[in-house]
């Protein structure tokens, strides 16, 4: 959530920065905001005047009583002021709620260092990496995609569809083992090498938790909703679309000590997304699923350290790709392609030979105070002042897409898959996967 004082002090500047994001879409009803603010100011001025008048009358009552004079008329006026103050307070509460609703619909402001662009075409490539420094591996045969490579290894989309519908998969045998190995490997890298604390979080969360990290109210259509069986009065809950939600909210409504920061958390979890706005995209294979696994990284930092933390987090995701010997590139997302809560985002895109292109496998974002303001999460500075923390999140990595990349980049002409050396200890020393 944005600081409302930014809008009060520089409404035109805030609107101009918001309009660099994906358009056309109405981010803020400016006239509605101005109208509510005008009424809020008028009520607050009137309230101050009424309180001053009531204080003055209260003194008069004391003076009249001291003289033995009649106080009925003055007391009646005081009573009327009390009723007016009550009505003003009730109206002010409604206005504040309306203003809050406007703020909850606003995305974060892009950092000034973020390139301005309307869509993904405005993204800026930062660097590329490949095991030999020469780019993706050349093939002397036509590379297959992960669907064809994975089928003999137990990657089964037919059974997934039979059980749950389109965009679900069923893994058995070598495919399931590879998937598990990748998740364990990623967790070990992030905990043992980069200092993250491993967590296990709920997969079902309450509405206010999703509001805290910005998924609600804007993206409700993209969530899977659940209710408890047999409890008609139960509030609707939601399946997490990323463990960023539960990890970040683990510090909600807290005042942290300065020496607790930075906090680094990681978790492996399934993620559930209805993908309401992506019908028809990537319908083949594991690239876009309703259920997928991810190892998530979250950092909670002091504001002055969040930019450096973002660069470090990108490096933590890159380390996994480099150990898996997967070619990738890093790009800075432009203003029109960033997520709702991000102030700055880097995407890591892994090379997929069958598609002859790079595809996103990690997104690392600095949300600054945007989520902290929603979650009411602060820390006590050295001066004893409570200030909002900054929150960051990133994939370290998407497990299913890593499986896709390992299959496609490690494929051999005979259909076997060369296992990256760093992953072999997690597969009992296997150097190749063979059906």
DSSP code at position 411 = B
Smallest Cα–Cα separation from 411: which of 321, 323, 351, 347?
A: 351
Pairing label, strands 197-199, 263-272: parallel
DSSP code at position 393 = E
Query: Considering 17, 374, 378, 401, which one is annotated as catalytic?
Result: 401
Pairing label, strands 378-380, 255-257: parallel
Q: What angle do CA 224, 228, 230 make, to 5 degrees?
A: 140
Coil, strand or helix at 137: coil
Query: Considering 360, 387, 416, 424, which one is annotated as catalytic?
Result: 360
* Structure tokens given for 49: 């005047």
Strands (E), 273-410: 291-301, 328-332, 344-352, 357-368, 378-380, 386-388, 390-398
Q: Look up 273 and say whether it is catalytic.
A: yes
Query: Considering 54, 273, 374, 378, which one is annotated as catalytic?
Result: 273
Query: Considering 241, 250, 363, 395, which one is annotated as catalytic?
Result: 363
Distances 311 to 136, 202, 299, 321, 330 between C-alpha atoms, Å: 24, 28, 12, 16, 11
Q: Look up 288 and say whether it is catalytic.
A: yes
Q: What angle do CA 78, 84, 88 make, to 5 degrees?
A: 140
Q: What angle do CA 120, 241, 198 make, to 5 degrees?
A: 110
Q: Look up 360 and say whether it is catalytic.
A: yes
Query: Considering 252, 288, 329, 424, which one is annotated as catalytic?
Result: 288
The residues annotated with a catalytic role in the active site are 273, 288, 360, 363, 401
């Amino acid at each position: 959530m944005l600081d409302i004082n930014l809008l009060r002090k520089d409404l035109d500047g805030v609107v101009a920065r918001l309009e660099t994001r994906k358009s056309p879409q109405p981010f803020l009803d400016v006239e509605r905001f101005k109208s509510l603010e005008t009424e809020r100011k008028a009520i607050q001025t009137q309230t101050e005047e009424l309180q001053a008048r009531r204080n003055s009358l209260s003194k008069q009552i004391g003076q009249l009583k001291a003289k033995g004079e009649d106080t009925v008329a003055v007391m009646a006026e005081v009573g009327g002021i009390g009723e007016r103050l009550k009505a003003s307070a009730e109206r002010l509460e409604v206005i504040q709620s309306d203003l809050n609703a406007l703020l909850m619909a606003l995305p974060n402001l892009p950092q000034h260092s973020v390139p301005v662009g309307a869509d993904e075409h405005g993204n800026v490539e930062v660097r590329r990496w490949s095991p030999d420094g020469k780019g993706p591996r050349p093939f002397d045969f036509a590379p297959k995609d992960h669907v064809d490579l994975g089928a003999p290894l137990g990657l089964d989309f037919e059974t997934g569809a039979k059980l749950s519908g389109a965009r679900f998969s069923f893994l058995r045998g070598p495919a399931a083992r590879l998937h598990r190995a990748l998740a364990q490997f990623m967790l070990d890298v992030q905990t043992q090498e980069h200092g993250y604390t491993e967590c296990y979080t709920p997969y079902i969360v309450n509405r206010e938790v999703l509001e805290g990290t910005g998924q609600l109210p804007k993206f409700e259509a993209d969530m899977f909703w659940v209710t408890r069986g047999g409890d008609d009065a139960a509030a609707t809950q939601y399946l997490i679309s990323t463990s960023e939600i539960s990890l970040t909210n683990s510090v909600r409504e807290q005042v942290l000590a300065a020496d607790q920061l930075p906090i680094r958390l990681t978790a492996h979890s399934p993620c559930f997304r209805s993908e309401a706005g992506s019908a028809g995209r990537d319908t083949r294979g594991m690239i876009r699923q309703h259920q997928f696994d991810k190892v998530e990284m979250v950092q909670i930092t002091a504001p002055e350290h969040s930019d450096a933390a973002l660069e470090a987090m990108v490096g933590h995701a890159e380390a996994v790709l480099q150990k898996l010997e997967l070619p990738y590139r890093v790009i800075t997302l432009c203003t029109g392609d960033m997520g709702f809560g991000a102030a700055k985002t880097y995407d890591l895109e892994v090379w997929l030979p069958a598609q002859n292109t790079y595809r996103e496998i990690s997104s690392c974002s600095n949300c600054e105070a945007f989520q902290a303001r929603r979650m009411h999460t602060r820390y006590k500075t050295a001066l004893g002042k409570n200030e909002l923390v900054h929150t960051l999140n990133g994939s370290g990595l998407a497990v299913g897409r890593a499986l896709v990349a390992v299959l496609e980049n490690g494929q051999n002409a005979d259909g076997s898959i060369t296992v990256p050396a760093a992953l072999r200890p997690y597969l009992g020393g296997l150097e190749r996967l063979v059906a």
